[in-house]
Amino acid sequence: MSQDSDVHSSSSHPFANQPAIDLCDFSFHNKFISELPADPIQNNKPRQVSQACFSHVEPTPVPEPRLLAWSESLAHQLGILRPLVVHHPTLDVLCGNLVMPGMRPYAARYGGHQFGHWAGQLGDGRAITLTEIMDRFSQRQELQLKGAGPTPYSRTADGRAVLRSSVREFMCSEAMHYLDIPTTRALSLVDTGAMVVRDMFYDGNPIPEPGAVVCRVAPSFIRFGNFQILAANGEHDLLKRLADYVIINYFPECMDQGLPSYEQWFHEVCRRTAVLVKEWMRVGFVHGVMNTDNMSILGLTIDYGPYGWLESYEPQWTPNTTDSAGRRYCYGSQPQIAHWNLLQLANTLYPLFVNKTPLENGLALFVKTYEQEWSKTLADKLGFLEITADDESLLIDLFKLLEAEETDFTIFFRKLATLPVDHQSLLNDDRELLKFVQSAFYIDAALTGKHADRVVLWLRRYIARIGKEKRSTIERVAIMNRANPKYVFRNYLAQLAIDALALGDDSVLLDTMHVLQRPYDEQPEFERYAERRPEWARHRAGCSALSCSS
């Protein structure tokens, strides 16, 4: 389930049905900056910052803001009215043109390991947190503008974001929410009316592109890197203050007799991270940039850059062109990278512990949790009550088959639930049996010859295994269809929306988001959104691998 689904299921909350109001009429809170030290220098110039958790900074105004997209469900959770006119104070806030009284914008300071190497100070180079508000369910939420201009952490960059990357962030964060995967969310997407120069392919040919601003929303955007920069600079007192702040405000279950328990907290971070990565693996999501500065301390998916979705099942596939040689952040390595990142966090937090045993135990807990969660997830995806030792060869052979020929990860698992396991006459016909999964194959040749024979053989073994289950077909199919989405936000779908918006057409974005709000439902009128990646998208920019260019 998503991180807030249990809260939203209760309409009895005293504020759940309050009428929505304009964002400008909210009461604004600034707990993070009120309880932690600020950078004393007010000059908004790139620099190294010390003895601080953030720097005060104002968004840079844009010339002609225009609302392109709006998340109605998130707006409902927050209790914010959609701005319905062009010149509206809410729109001015969401593009960075207006800072309301009570808002105290800032950019956070953090560091991180990038592609396995310590990169030193990084920080919010193009993200500015405006304020905190209380949503309708009494949860604190931060409003953050991405692409709102330079900060002291922008280095040589301009702090802006282009439309294409902003569309991808807006749509994917919302799609992940509806997939029930813990994630930051996006309230709005605003065209700035200004051009931003980017070298999309890193080939020395920068071009101007439309700029945009996304309003991101999360209880907190604190990352592993917020702690790392403090430990790296020997700021251990501040490290403790930040840890205490996070535990008290976001991990109340980790308080022990009124004091923060660092051991319980680290173990919970490890547990949440294991669950998060398991969820990515379940739906074939590849983050693409699992640097430690892109790892949420709350266990949320954060920073949608060059992400991607498995089309054909390739464990070594990475959506990040920067990672194409080493493939550090490929699909199959995500659990190991998460563990490595937690190891770096453990090294960072070591000054808070008397000895390393609790940290080692936390890392072991990650491994145990991931293994247990992934086993349960595989069981659900296949329709089993549980994975047993007898299933090992069946699973090994399955993933060998998926990798041997170009087989769509999402479609294959979804189609397994349609197998007529109770109709022996159909099962006796190899060709008829193969038809149930044929739409998952990208190459027609895979449906004939030896590979087809191997697929049929595996399907018969699978059906025999299903026959041992002690539950009804209806129950099994329902569980499988909740584990295997029919609709995921494939990269070519994002590119179609981007292309249309560039022509002033928002219908593609709106239609796609409408479908993605029900990813586990059949929605037969929208079958085209569940099809394999079209051939034209195989090598087109934006439809497969992506660069880190914004």
Beta carbons within 8 Å of 207's beta carbon, 6+ residues apart: 197, 198, 199, 200
pLDDT at 550 over 70: no
How high is the pLDDT of residue 1? Answer: 36
pLDDT at 9 over 70: no
Q: Model confidence over 473-530: pLDDT tens digits?
A: 999 999 999 999 999 999 999 999 999 998 999 999 999 999 999 999 999 999 999 9
CA dist., res. 203 & res. 449, Å (int): 43
How high is the pLDDT of residue 10? Answer: 38
Task: Name the band, by pLDDT with cuts 50, 70 and 90, for residue 448.
Answer: confident
Higher pLDDT, 544 or 180: 180
Task: Name the band, by pLDDT with cuts 50, 70 and 90, for residue 412.
Answer: very high
Q: What is the DSSP string of 339-380?
A: HHHHHHHHHHHGGGSSSSHHHHHHHHHHHHHHHHHHHHHHHH
Phi, psi for 140 (deg, rounded to 5): -75, 130
Query: Of 325, 61, 41, 293, whose CA–CA distance to 193 is shortest?
Result: 61
Cβ(122)–Cβ(293) below 8 Å: yes
CA dist., res. 303 & res. 55, Å (int): 20
To which H or E segment does residue 133 belong?
A: strand 127-134
492-523: string of b/e by CB count within 10 Å (b at 16+)? bbbbbbbebbeeeeeebbeebbebbbebbeeb
From first CA to last CA, the distance across the chain in angstroms is 30
How high is the pLDDT of residue 544? Answer: 80
Mean of pLDDT values over 365-384: 98
How high is the pLDDT of residue 3? Answer: 37
How high is the pLDDT of residue 537? Answer: 93
Hey, where are the domains in the chain? 5-226, 232-381, 389-468
How high is the pLDDT of residue 110? Answer: 98
Cβ(283)–Cβ(179) below 8 Å: yes
Instruction: Give catalytic status of residue 505 as yes or no.
Output: no
pLDDT at 266 over 50: yes
Cβ(366)–Cβ(273) below 8 Å: yes
CB atoms under 10 Å from CB of 524, counted, come to 7
Q: Model confidence over 315-355: pLDDT tens digits?
A: 999 999 999 999 999 999 999 999 999 999 999 999 999 99
How high is the pLDDT of residue 13? Answer: 60
How high is the pLDDT of residue 143? Answer: 98
CA dist., res. 16 & res. 135, Å (int): 9
CA 519 to chain centroid:
15
CA 55 to chain centroid:
26
Q: Which residue has the tokens 């998460």?
A: 338
Mean of pLDDT values over 176-180: 98
Q: Model confidence over 121-144: pLDDT tens digits?
A: 999 999 999 999 999 999 999 999
Phi, psi for 197 (deg, rounded to 5): -90, 125
How high is the pLDDT of residue 59? Answer: 98
Cβ(322)–Cβ(306) below 8 Å: yes
Q: Model confidence over 211-248: pLDDT tens digits?
A: 999 999 999 999 999 999 999 999 999 999 999 999 99
How high is the pLDDT of residue 421? Answer: 83
CA dist., res. 148 & res. 331, Å (int): 31
pLDDT at 2 over 60: no
Q: Model confidence over 188-206: pLDDT tens digits?
A: 999 999 999 988 777 788 8
Query: Of 291, 299, 303, 287, whose CA–CA distance to 126 is shortest?
Result: 303
pLDDT at 8 over 60: no
Cβ(406)–Cβ(417) below 8 Å: no
Question: Which is catalytic among the residues 191, 293, 323, 408?
Answer: 293
- DSSP-assigned beta bridge partners for residue 320: 546
Q: What is the DSSP string of 189-214?
A: EEEEEEEEEE-TTSSS--EEEEEEEE
Mean of pLDDT values over 529-547: 90
pTM score: 0.95
Q: What's the chain's average pLDDT?
A: 94
* DSSP structural state of residue 441: B
pLDDT at 181 over 60: yes
How high is the pLDDT of residue 426? Answer: 67
